[in-house]
Structure 1
């Protein structure tokens, strides 16, 4: 298991771990780095419709490990048993969080990541029901804005993330933003399992 202190140190220095095919843990610091600027988060038409329908219930930190396990269920994954155990431990220590979309009492989609100061490091998302992960991402952005976070890191740019306004910035600029964010007195949650 990766120690909590090592994970937090890595994130504070623009580095994060991923499991390789052989099970080894490798560390990455992409250049350029992808972020979603919180002030220009884009809500695509499909997400607007999903939000208007209001089908999903958003919960925070009620099924953290289940979210991680669901994110790992794909043909190629960097979320190994070691990664799961390490981040569940980080969650139990109050640093990793899940945003979950529930439908009819079942986990329909969600995401997880790490919060340090005013920075949130998005790790992975999944959906079992159409639009569930998008609604969870919207809920994350609203929460970060409401709690005065200043950085939403998505690590690498994907076509899916571009639809929400994700962009790439040079690693040096990312490190500047990171440095300003991690020492901000922000709280992702006030109490365990708050919503």
Structure 2
């Protein structure tokens, strides 16, 4: 097992050589080209920016994903959707979504928070280039006034959505965002939502493990 140190050269090591927790490399930068290369090979940056001096790159060999056609919609969520209490949009306020995700991350984790100003800038840059997207959940008070109450964002490459973070200011807003995203991806024939790590919340919504080999086969259009 080893952790590799990256420099300015754009490359990533074989993830099978990394640590059992999925950590494979440290260092490098958050340039758009490096991020695109990372996600194309199953890597993503995740690190406590107040503690770690630079990016830590993870590539777990067991991948937790949601296939869009297998999204689980609970009875309570079906009721919420029928009520049409909230309006869901795509890419209308990427900056607002990532900023709110960072506030929740910072409040909940303090020193372990990972959504740094550099991360926000890097993913906003990807969004402007067409490689990152957001889902917004709005509470509408009238035809003009509305408030952002939930959402999520992630990277979009090779017909896959790589989820990064989500937030909810009202119950079930992030679930609504994820369900709506999965339905949209399914309509357009996208492969999967990469959840990065398993949580009970994502497991209950249809998340499942696949091997890294299967993950890459699908990502490369061979699966």
Report the equivalent of 2:188: 147
So what's the TM-score if we normalise by structure 2?
Answer: 0.77
1:15: how far off? 0.3
Equivalent residue in structure 1 for 2:74, among 26, 30, 44 = 44
Larger Rg over CA atoms: 2
Is contact 2:158–2:219 with CA below 8 Å preserved after alignment? no
Q: Which has the higher contact order (CA 8 A, sep 6+)?
A: 1
**What is the count of residue pairs matched by the alignment?**
181
Is contact 1:19–1:80 with CA below 8 Å preserved after alignment? no
CA distance in 1, matches of 2:76, 2:166: 17
Is contact 1:18–1:83 with CA below 8 Å preserved after alignment? no
1:19: how far off? 2.8
1:14: how far off? 0.5
CA distance in 1, matches of 2:114, 2:218: 26
CA distance in 2, matches of 1:25, 1:81: 13
Is contact 1:109–1:136 with CA below 8 Å preserved after alignment? yes
CA distance in 2, matches of 1:39, 1:124: 21
Is contact 2:64–2:194 with CA below 8 Å preserved after alignment? yes
So what's the TM-score if we normalise by structure 1?
Answer: 0.88
1:65-108: CA deviation from partner (whole Å, max 9, x where unpaired): 11112112232232111111100000111110100000020001
Report the equivalent of 2:51: 22
1:51: how far off? 0.5
Flag as ranges the 4+ runs of structure 1 deviating above 2 A.
none
Q: CA RMSD in A?
A: 1.4
TM alignment of 1:1-195, pairs within 5 A: 2-20=30-48, 21-23=50-52, 24-72=54-102, 73-74=104-105, 75-76=108-109, 77-104=113-140, 105-180=146-221
Is contact 1:19–1:25 with CA below 8 Å preserved after alignment? yes
Structure 1: give runs of 5+ residues left out of the alignment: 182-195
